[in-house]
């Protein structure tokens, strides 16, 4: 997925790629490999928005503070550190976890990538 994002955006976009990777990792960890997702990235002069939609409205991400010995639990902390803000929008049969980054992280265009399933 990181490679697909990089190729679509025309070059490395480390923070966008990190956000996509962390959001997708949460889906795989909590819902399973092969879970269908939809990724949307939109860029404007004011900010870049990343959205990842999955089919489980009940499995909400929770920001944790991992200790030095924890093997997991740092993904949302990384997301929180590199983004302006992030959140969850709940649908009736899905949820979308989104984040917004400072301007300049992607061109002024929209991409929809579908994986899994």
Where are the chain's structural domains?
A: 2-115
Contacts for 80 with CB less than 8 Å, ≥ 6 apart: 63, 86
Residue with tokens 């960890």: 29
Helices (DSSP H) in the chain: which residue ranges?
Answer: 2-9, 14-31, 75-82
Fold of 2-115: Heat Shock Protein 90 (3.30.565)
**Per-chain mean pLDDT for the chain:** 82
Higher model confidence: residue 44 or residue 89?
A: 89
Report which listed range, 1-5, 43-47, 96-100, 102-106, is most confident. 96-100
Q: Is the pLDDT confidence value at 114 over 50?
A: no
**Does residue 72 sit in helix, strand or coil?**
coil
Distance of CA 90 to the CA centre of its chain: 15
Tokens of 116: 């899994």
Q: Is the pLDDT confidence value at 16 over 80?
A: yes
Nearest to 97 by CA among 35, 43, 20, 33: 20
The answer to pTM > 0.85 is no
Summarize the confidence of residues 85-109 as an average pLDDT. Answer: 83
**Predicted pLDDT at 108:** 45
């Amino acid at each position: 997925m990181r490679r697909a994002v990089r190729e679509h955006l025309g070059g490395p976009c480390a923070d966008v790629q990190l956000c996509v990777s962390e959001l997708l990792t949460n889906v795989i960890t909590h819902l399973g490999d092969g879970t269908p997702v939809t990724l949307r990235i939109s860029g404007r002069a004011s900010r870049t928005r990343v959205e990842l939609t999955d089919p489980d409205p009940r499995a909400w991400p929770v920001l944790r503070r991992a200790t030095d010995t924890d093997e997991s639990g740092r993904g949302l902390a990384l997301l929180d550190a590199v983004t302006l803000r992030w959140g969850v929008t709940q649908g009736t049969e899905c949820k979308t976890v989104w984040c917004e980054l400072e301007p300049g992280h992607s061109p002024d265009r929209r991409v929809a990538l579908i994986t899994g399933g």
